[in-house]
Amino acid sequence: MMRQATYILLLIVASVLLYGCDSSTLTDSPGVGIIENPDWLVPVDQIYEGTGRDQISSIDEPAYLLANQIDFLEDRDLVIGLKIGTQIRAYPHRVLDYHEIVNDQFDDAAVAVTFCPLTGSAVAWNREIDGEITEFGVSGLIYKNNLVAYDRGSNSLWSQMLLQSINGERIGQKLKRFHLIEMNWERWKSLYPDSEVLTGEAGSNQSYSTPPYGNYPYDDDNILFPIQREDDRLNRKEVAHGMLYDQDLNVLPMQEIPDSPLVFNRNVAGRELVIIADGSGKFITAYSAVTSDGESLRFSTTGREPPALFEDGEGNIWDYFGEAIAGPRSGEKLQMIPSFNAYWFAWVDFYGLDPRRPHILTP
- The pTM (predicted TM-score) of the whole model is 0.90
Pairing of strands 324-326, 196-201: unpaired
* Domains parsed from the chain with CATH numbers: 2-35+43-196 (no CATH), 239-360 (2.102.10)
Residue 307 CB coordination number (10 Å): 16
Q: Residue 296 carries which side chain, given as an amino acid letter?
A: S
Residue 282 has pLDDT above 70, yes or no: yes
pLDDT tens track for 131-146: 999 999 999 999 999 9
pLDDT digits (tens, 9 = 90+) for 307-363: 899 999 999 999 999 999 999 999 999 999 999 999 999 999 999 987 889 999 998
Region 70-85: what's the mean pLDDT? 96
Provide the residue count of the chain.
363
pLDDT of 5 strictly over 50: no
Q: What is the pLDDT of residues 213-249, one digit of tens each?
A: 999 999 999 999 999 999 999 999 999 999 998 778 9
pLDDT tens for each residue of 138-173: 999 999 999 999 999 999 999 999 999 999 999 999
Mean pLDDT of 74-103: 97
